[in-house]
């Protein structure tokens, strides 16, 4: 699966992913109004609004980007109806040729972790039939429970040619509280990084592994170290833009082959029309603003990579 | 919220919780058959089967137990339809007076963590209305991302009088890979435990905090230490029974007041009819087998506590 992602990244010259993390407050008034007219101010109405919002952004950007990363929490907050919108979004993105990274940060043990893996990346058996629940191409996974939590994902990934990105060093200010703690002089995130490389060694797909990791754009020095520790591991990089990560900080997340990292932007793209820079598009043309923001992000990152 | 749980534990003399983690293979043939006749061998059919299974177990045990702990992964594997069964199960358990601990192990940052908190414990705003998505009473939370991941949960818990159980030391064999790593001589799980006590200090509800933790029954020596480190923290204890934790190992998870811990059993209760000890009930009376297994578990734990 990672090779499919790499192929699209190379074809489009775009090591970027758009985070589909819709807050209801990002959705333009007119879309909310129409959804509420049809379904009322209900969970179903909210789900319809974010689905229509997503659809227009996907339509406006899918020829430019290799992948999307829907954040399931933003859908889960609207209960079952929200998760229906999550599922519809995944299905639609895949129909447009996009690779879908489910930002689900799941993690449990044994049969429970396997149930998450099956639900998001594999198929579940029901009598003599089998069904894909959500059917993302990649999922993000939390490593706190150790190998017992990861191995069921590896098994399902092998069976269905899917991939995972394991949290190593997250982009948030307090990520260091536990992740930076020193163990015999080595920070925990490095220890996790080494395990990621180990888990990944058995899941190679071309030059890279189907087991990737997450390292926040907000910690470029740590990203540099982790890059060398895990040469075959693709790094999913959140924190660019709105969270403060700059393109020039990200060049060391890439390998010498120009590959090895994919940078996410969520708010910066999907709510671009609310930023001063793109305000002139107006809320009616919010999706065009998102398209322009994608073009600008792509240029920004490619420029930094070319300069390096 | 923790006080409500304590009241029920004291009234019923039962510091136990039943894990509603249905595998389709636990559901007796006749229930599966009926569900598949109605909905086909589909995700909806599977969801109906586990919901009917849950309902009978809840009916047979709700007068004996203070709480249930549905494991969302077991529902999520069946996609949206499975999550509908999760929601119906929660609603039904609450209508029977049970306290519901959503074993969701969510954890993210900032607005994303808040979205999870809102979806599972609070209410989401849609226009001028607000709705509860899943509406558990407690949720389990993963601490790997630090305070940024926890504080949004604390906020929602305060607003809606709900609680969380934060993973400290999990019951699985590989939990030590990261959790046991020594930081200046102190294992990571103790560091997390100390933070749990700190986060919990601002969320007191009677003698205990609405911020609890998870410590596996399979590590009794660690449980003993953690108990003294976090005197006001309720401990949710998985790993009893099927995973190998014995009642006599668990007495040190309790405080001198006889409170402070609640022990979970999942498979051991809900699939009791498959065990030699309860086989005589037969699969038609699987719920009666579960009731007997609850009575036996309660006696086992109370006996160990009385001996201590």
Residue B195 with chain A: CB contacts under 8 Å = 177
CA angle B214, B218, B224 (to 5 degrees): 65
Round the CA-based radius of gyration of chain B to a whole number and report it: 19
b/e sequence B82-107, b meaning 16+ C-beta within 10 Å? bbbbbbbbbebbeeeebbbbbbbbbb
- Please give the average per-residue pLDDT across B166-181, as a whole number: 95
Question: Which residues lie across from A106 on neighbouring strands?
Answer: A141
What residues in A contact B176, CB-CB < 8 Å? 146
Distances (CA, A) of A102 to A88, A120, B236: 13, 8, 29
Nearest to B178 among A171, A176, A188 (CB): A188
Q: Please judge whether B126 and A76 are an interchain contact, meaning their C-beta atoms are less than 8 angstroms apart.
A: no
Q: pLDDT for B174-200, tens place per residue?
A: 999 999 999 999 999 999 999 999 999
Q: Which of A16, A50, A26, A269 is nearest to B111 (CA)?
A: A26
Q: What distance, in Å, lies between the first and last C-alpha atoms of chain B? A: 28
A177 to B188: CB separation less than 8 angstroms, yes or no:
no
Nearest of A14, A43, A19, A9 to residue A93 by alpha carbon: A19
User: ipTM of this model?
Assistant: 0.97
Residue B246: band (very low, low, confident or very high) from pLDDT cuts 50, 70, 90: confident
Separation of alpha carbons A153 and A141, rounded Å: 9
Q: Which candidate from B76, B142, B146 shows the least CB-CB separation from A174?
A: B146
Q: Which residues on B lie below 8 Å from A43 (Cβ)?
A: 124, 126, 131, 133
Inter-chain touch A148–B173, beta carbons under 8 Å: yes
DSSP result, B81-101: HHHHHHHHHHHHHHHTT-EEE
- Tell me if B108 and A78 make a contact (CB, 8 A cut-off): no
CB-closest option in A76, A111, A174 to B119: A76
Query: Which among A105, A123, A151, A224 is annotated as catalytic?
Result: A105
pLDDT beyond 90 at B222: yes
Query: Mean pLDDT, 10 residues at a time, over chain A (308 residues)?
Result: 98 98 96 98 98 98 98 98 98 98 96 97 97 98 96 98 98 95 96 97 97 96 96 96 83 95 97 97 97 97 91
Dihedral class, residue A135 (left if φ above 0, else alpha if ψ from -120 to 50, else beta): left
| Catalytic residue positions of B, numbered | 105
pTM score: 0.97
pLDDT score of B292 more than 90 = yes
Taking CB atoms and an 8 Å limit, are A134 and B32 in contact across chains? no
**DSSP state string for B117-129:** HHHHHS-EEETTE
Write down the H helix ranges in A19-109. Answer: 29-39, 43-61, 73-76, 79-95
Of A45, A146, A171, the CB nearest to B175: A146
- DSSP designation for A253: G
**What value does the mean pLDDT take over residues B144-153?**
96
Q: What is the pLDDT of residue A290?
A: 98
B 55-114: CB under 8 A from A: 71, 73-74, 76-80, 82-84, 87, 105-113
A46–B126 C-beta distance less than 8 A: yes
**A-B Cβ pairs (cutoff 8 Å, strict):** 218
B184/chain A closest Cα distance in angstroms: 8
């Amino acid at each position: 699966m990672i090779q499919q992602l790499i192929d699209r990244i190379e074809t489009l010259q775009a090591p970027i992913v758009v985070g589909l993390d819709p807050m209801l407050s990002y959705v333009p008034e007119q879309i909310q109004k129409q959804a509420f007219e049809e379904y009322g101010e209900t969970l179903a109405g909210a789900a319809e609004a974010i689905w229509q919002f997503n659809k227009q952004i996907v339509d406006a950007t899918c020829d430019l980007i290799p992948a999307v990363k829907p954040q399931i929490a933003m859908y889960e907050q609207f209960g079952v109806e929200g998760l229906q919108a999550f599922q519809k979004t995944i299905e639609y993105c895949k129909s447009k040729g996009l690779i879908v990274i489910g930002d689900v940060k799941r993690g449990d043990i044994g049969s429970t972790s396997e149930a998450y893996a099956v639900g998001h990346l594999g198929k579940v058996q029901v009598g003599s039939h089998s069904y894909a629940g959500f059917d993302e191409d990649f999922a993000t996974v939390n490593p706190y429970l150790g190998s017992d939590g990861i191995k069921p994902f590896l098994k399902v990934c092998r069976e269905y040619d899917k991939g995972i990105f394991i949290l190593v060093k997250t982009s948030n200010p307090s990520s260091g509280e536990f992740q930076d703690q020193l163990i015999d002089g080595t920070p925990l995130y490095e220890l996790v990084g080494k395990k990621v490389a180990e888990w990944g060694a058995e899941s190679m797909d071309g030059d890279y592994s189907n087991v990737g990791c997450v390292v926040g754009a907000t910690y470029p020095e740590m990203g540099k170290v982790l890059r060398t520790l895990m040469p075959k591991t693709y790094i999913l990089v959140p924190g660019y833009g709105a969270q403060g990560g700059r393109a020039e900080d990200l060049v060391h997340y890439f390998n010498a082959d120009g590959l090895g990292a994919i940078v996410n932007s969520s708010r910066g793209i999907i709510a671009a029309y609310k930023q001063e820079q793109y305000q002139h598009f107006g809320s009616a043309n919010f999706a065009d603003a998102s398209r322009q923001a994608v073009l600008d992000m792509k240029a920004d990152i490619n420029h930094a990579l070319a300069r390096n």
